[in-house]
C-alpha cells in the first residue's frame, strides 16, 4: 500500500513558515534571542486570550459582596498585585490591558498591510506618474510624528469621549497612516525587481491582465519580508496606545483597561512609596515590546546571510555539502 504524500508536503510547507523556518536555521545566541522573544510574545497572547478566565474580577470592578475594595492596598492574598488609587485590582487591570493592546495591534497592522501592499503593488507595476506621486507622498508622511497624529485622531474620532472604540481607532489609524510607507516601499521595491522576471513576462505574453499579474504572480513573491515589519509595527502600535493613555488621551478606565492610563494614575503613588500600582503595568509594556522586538530582530538577522550565525555542526555540514557538490 502506497504511503500518502499529503502529510509530507504539509510538513514541508509547515517548515517553510516564517517563525518555524527561522527556528530551524538559528543557533547559539540568535536562537536564544528568538526563543525568548517567542516566549514573551506567547505569554502576551495568552494573557489577552485568557484574561476573562484568569482575572479574579472585572477590569472596572471596585467592589464585591463584601463591600468596596480598599484603595492603594498592598499585595495580599485577595489582591495579589495590590489595588490602585481608585480601588481597581492591579492584577486584573494588567491582564485585561493585554486585550486592549491586541485589538490596537491587529487593527493597525491589518489596515497598514491592506493599504500599503495594494499601493506598493500598483505603484511598482505600473510606474510612471502614479509611481512618482506615491513615492513623494510616502516620503512626506515620514515627517508626521505618530504620537502627535494619534492625539489629533483621538480628539477627532472620539469627540472628547475616550471610549473603547475611539481610543483603539485613534491609535490604529495613526499607526496606519505613518507605517503605510514602510509596506509600500518594501512591496514596491520587490515588484519592480520581479516584474522583469521571465515568469511575469510569460504571463504578459499569454495575455494576462495587469490585475491578474499583480495579484496572482507578484503579490505572493513580494510579501515574504512583511513579517519582519509586522513585529516593528506591533511594538509601535503598543507604545502609541500607551503614550495616548499616559498623556490623558486614551481610554477611560470604565470602557477598557489600558496600561498607559494606569501608569499615568500611578505617578502620584510613586512619590508616596506605593510601587505596585505602576510597576506591573510598566513591566507588561516593557516585556511585551521586548518580546516582539526580539522576534523581529532575530528574524531580520537570520534573513541576512551576512548576519546569520551557524553552529559548528551546521557550518561543517554546509561545507561538506558544498564540497560534495563541487566534486560532482
pLDDT tens sequence for the chain (328 residues): 444 444 456 666 666 666 666 666 666 777 888 888 899 999 999 999 999 999 999 988 888 888 888 988 889 888 999 999 888 999 999 999 999 999 988 888 888 888 888 888 888 888 888 889 988 888 888 777 777 877 887 777 776 556 677 777 777 887 788 888 888 888 888 888 888 778 777 777 787 777 777 777 777 777 666 777 788 788 888 888 888 888 888 787 788 888 998 998 888 888 888 899 999 999 999 999 999 988 888 877 776 655 555 444 554 554 555 555 555 5
Three-state DSSP state, 309: coil
Q: Which residues pair with 64 in a beta bridge?
A: 67
The pTM score is: 0.79
Can you spell out the DSSP letters for 211-243?
HHIIIIIIHHHH-TTHHHHHHHHHHHHHHHHHH
Q: Over the range 23-36, which residues count as b (16 or more CB within 10 Å of their CB) and which as e? A: beebbeebbebbee
**According to the model, what pLDDT value does residue 291 have?**
92
**According to the model, what pLDDT value does residue 219 have?**
75
**According to the model, what pLDDT value does residue 218 have?**
78
Give the 3-state secondary structure percentages of the chain, helix then strand then coil, rounded to 5.
75, 0, 25
Q: Virtual CA dihedral for 14, 220, 45, 256, nearest 10 degrees? A: -160
**Half-sphere exposure at residue 74, Cβ-oriented, CA atoms within 13 angstroms:** 3
Domains of the chain: 95-306 (1.10.3720.10)
Amino acid at each position: 500500500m502506497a504511503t500518502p504524500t499529503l502529510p509530507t508536503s504539509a510538513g514541508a510547507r509547515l517548515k517553510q513558515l516564517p517563525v518555524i523556518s527561522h527556528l530551524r536555521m538559528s543557533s547559539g545566541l540568535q536562537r536564544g534571542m528568538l526563543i525568548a522573544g517567542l516566549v514573551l510574545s506567547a505569554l502576551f497572547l495568552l494573557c489577552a486570550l485568557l484574561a476573562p478566565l484568569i482575572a479574579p474580577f472585572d477590569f472596572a470592578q471596585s467592589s464585591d459582596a463584601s463591600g468596596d475594595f480598599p484603595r492603594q492596598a498592598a499585595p495580599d492574598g485577595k489582591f495579589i498585585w495590590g489595588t490602585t488609587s481608585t480601588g481597581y485590582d492591579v492584577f486584573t487591570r494588567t491582564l485585561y490591558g493585554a486585550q486592549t493592546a491586541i485589538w490596537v495591534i491587529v487593527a493597525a497592522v491589518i489596515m497598514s498591510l491592506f493599504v500599503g501592499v495594494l499601493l506598493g503593488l500598483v505603484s511598482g507595476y505600473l510606474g510612471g506618474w502614479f509611481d512618482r506621486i506615491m513615492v513623494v507622498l510616502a516620503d512626506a508622511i515620514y515627517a508626521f510624528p505618530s504620537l502627535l497624529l494619534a492625539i489629533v485622531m483621538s480628539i477627532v474620532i472620539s469627540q472628547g469621549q475616550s471610549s473603547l472604540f475611539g481610543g483603539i481607532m485613534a491609535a490604529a489609524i495613526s499607526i496606519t497612516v505613518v507605517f503605510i510607507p514602510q509596506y509600500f516601499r518594501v512591496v514596491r521595491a520587490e515588484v519592480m525587481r520581479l516584474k522583469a522576471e521571465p515568469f511575469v513576462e510569460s504571463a504578459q505574453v499569454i495575455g494576462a491582465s495587469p490585475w491578474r499579474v499583480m495579484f496572482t504572480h507578484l503579490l505572493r513573491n513580494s510579501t515574504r519580508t512583511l513579517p519582519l515589519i509586522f513585529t516593528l509595527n506591533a511594538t509601535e502600535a503598543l507604545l502609541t496606545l500607551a503614550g495616548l493613555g499616559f498623556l490623558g488621551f486614551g481610554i477611560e478606565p470604565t470602557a477598557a483597561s489600558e496600561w498607559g492610563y494606569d501608569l499615568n494614575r500611578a505617578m502620584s503613588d510613586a512619590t508616596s512609596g506605593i510601587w505596585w500600582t505602576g510597576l506591573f503595568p510598566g513591566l507588561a509594556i516593557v516585556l511585551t515590546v521586548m518580546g516582539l522586538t526580539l522576534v523581529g530582530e532575530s528574524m531580520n538577522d537570520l534573513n541576512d546571510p551576512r548576519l546569520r550565525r551557524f553552529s559548528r555542526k551546521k557550518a561543517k555540514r554546509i561545507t561538506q555539502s558544498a564540497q560534495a557538490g563541487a566534486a560532482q
